[in-house]
Amino acid sequence: MSIVVTGATGALGRLVVERLLATVDAGSVVAVVRDKEKAAELAARGVELRVADYDRPESLAGAFRAGDRVLMISANEVGRRVPQHTALIDAAKAAGVAQLAYTGVLGGPDADFELAAEHKVTERLILESGLPYTFLRNGWYTENYLNLAPVLEHGAVVANAGDGRLASASRADYADAAAAVLTGEGHLGATYELSGDTAWSLAEFADVVSAATGREIAYRNVPAAVHQEILVGAGLPEAFAAILVDVDEAIARGLLAGRSGDLARLIGRPTTPLADSVAAAVAAG
């Protein structure tokens, strides 16, 4: 039996692999990657590499073995994830894996924003497959807000989230949870709603950035259409800008504020405070 991480050279996948290497023998860890060169450092540390691509279903046939515990990190191309995930689920079922853990979205079927749609379909496909599963419904990543250059340039956090709150956690927190589920027992058939211990508003985020930088940072709540124009004007594709605006509306409705405590329980410690993440981002420049 191996512990297999898909998307292992991505931001989340690499953190999961690092956590696994701190707790289990490298020979039991498998990294599924598209490019072996990007994973050369992992191979040098004893991690087995298996080359596969979500867009090439035939390549996934060799990605898994019977009895593997697999972390299926969701693909990052919105609009293409259902066929990509379907191919991976089919390959995992054909191989007879012992566990398929999937990184979905906080709230699962209750998440009514556009970014959640493909996650909900994927969960349904996994259930229909009959595979032993674990659903890791990740909340918002604090890192989504840590590109502080635009905030500092304009002296403002701009959004259409109103006074909505979000219980974010660091990417490392979510990675630790995934590693715990892959190496522990009692997680089959479980669904975990993962989020930070504390929910915060974007006005509070602006205050935290102000304190960390010594700059006066305001929160500007704008209508959704205005925010869309701002994002497109900053160079984002219209479709992606629309997704971000839609997420802000979900925040305003409280859909990313849920705090079940599952994340802290899985990782055995409090989740990373917002102020710590912001301070680290400021220190890193």
pLDDT reported for residue 174: 98
pLDDT reported for residue 77: 82
Estimate to the nearest angstrom the gap between the alpha carbon of 153 and the chain centroid: 27
Please report how many Cα atoms fall inside a 13 Å half-sphere around the Cα of residue 229, on the Cβ side: 5
How would DSSP label each residue in the chain? --EEEETTTSHHHHHHHHHHHTTS-GGGEEEEES-GGGGHHHHHTT-EEEE-BTTBHHHHTTS--TT-EEEEPPPS-TTTHHHHHHHHHHHHHHHT-SEEEEEEETTGGG--SGGGHHHHHHHHHHHHHT--EEEEEE--BGGGG---HHHHHHTEEEES-TT-EE--B-HHHHHHHHHHHHHSSS-TTEEEEE--SS-EEHHHHHHHHHHHHSS--EEEE--HHHHHHHHHHTT--HHHHHHHHHHHHHHHTTTT----SHHHHHHTSPPPPHHHHHHHHHHH-
d(Cα 152, Cα 149) in Å, to the nearest integer?
A: 5
d(Cα 152, Cα 159) in Å, to the nearest integer?
A: 15
What would the CATH number be for the domain defined by 142-169+196-258+272-285? 3.90.25.10
Domain ranges (residues) in the chain: 3-138, 142-169+196-258+272-285
pLDDT reported for residue 33: 95
What would the CATH number be for the domain defined by 3-138? 3.40.50.720
pLDDT tens digits for the chain (285 residues)?
Answer: 899 999 999 999 999 999 999 999 999 999 999 999 999 999 999 999 999 998 999 999 889 999 999 999 998 888 889 999 999 999 999 999 999 999 999 999 999 999 999 999 999 999 999 999 999 999 999 999 999 999 999 999 999 999 999 999 999 999 999 999 999 999 999 999 999 999 999 999 999 999 999 999 999 999 999 999 999 999 999 999 999 999 999 999 999 999 999 999 999 999 999 999 999 999 998
pLDDT reported for residue 100: 98
Q: Do residues 88 and 60 make contact, with C-beta atoms less than 8 angstroms apart?
A: yes
